[in-house]
Amino acid sequence: MNSAAHNLKTIRLFHVEDEPLDADLLKVHLRGLEIPVSIVEIASDIDFRKAIRAGPPDLVLSDSNVRGFDTENVFHYARNTSPPIPYIMFSGHPDPLLREKALASGAYAFIDKGRPGELIAAIRRLFVTKSELLPPPEHPVLAQCKEFRCLACRTAAGRWVDYIHRRELPEVLSWAEV
């Protein structure tokens, strides 16, 4: 996890899902998010009411079909709070009509469960600004530029420099902890 991600607020996520394997897979996928997430699992109307009493989520992630539970209730709750809570439908049923209906009703995204990278990208767009993903100034990291990789850091002014020689670097494409 990037050290800057440790400073991000924990996202409280309502996960509406009735398949334990899918719920476990989501936890694995969210490790790639590099943002702390607190997952409240919801598989019934009772779970939903209990979760709401404990406080509102920052994000609702819902399967399109949960046995014995009307997921529309969760969507209406998310849309009608003030301010509205982002709602992402994460479904294994990529029905184009269902997708159109969800997006037309105000869902932030409709993502197929077979494309977890799209889910991670959508959550990042919602909760992470570019500056929050950068390492703190003077913190050594391995920086990848277009033609080379080196030990680097950001200056207090926000410029990337070679950590040892302090020469300014061309565009840094990515970085990793060392």
Q: Quick: pLDDT tens for 8-50.
A: 688 999 999 989 999 999 999 998 787 889 999 999 888 988 9
pLDDT at 129: 62
- 3-132: CATH topology: Rossmann fold (3.40.50)
**58, 12 Cβ separation under 8 angstroms:** yes
Structure tokens at 125: 């767009």
- Kindly report, as residue ranges, where domains of CATH 3.40.50.2300 are found in the chain: 3-132
Tell me the whole-structure pTM to 2 decimals.
0.68
Residue 6, pLDDT > 50, answer no
Structure tokens at 90: 């994460």
Cα 10 to its chain centre, rounded Å, is 11
Terminal alpha carbon distance of the chain: 11
**Interatomic CA distance for residues 106 and 108, integer angstroms:** 6
Q: Where are the alpha helices (DSSP H) in 93-135?
A: 96-104, 116-127
| CA-wise closest residue to 16 among 81, 52, 83, 96 | 52
Report which secondary-structure segment, H or E, holds 152.
Answer: strand 149-154
| CA-wise closest residue to 31 among 105, 117, 97, 99 | 117
pLDDT at 34: 76
Structure tokens at 59: 């994000």
pLDDT digits (tens, 9 = 90+) for 46-105: 898 899 889 889 999 998 888 877 777 788 888 887 688 899 999 888 788 888 888 888
pLDDT, average across residues 99-114: 89
pLDDT at 138: 92
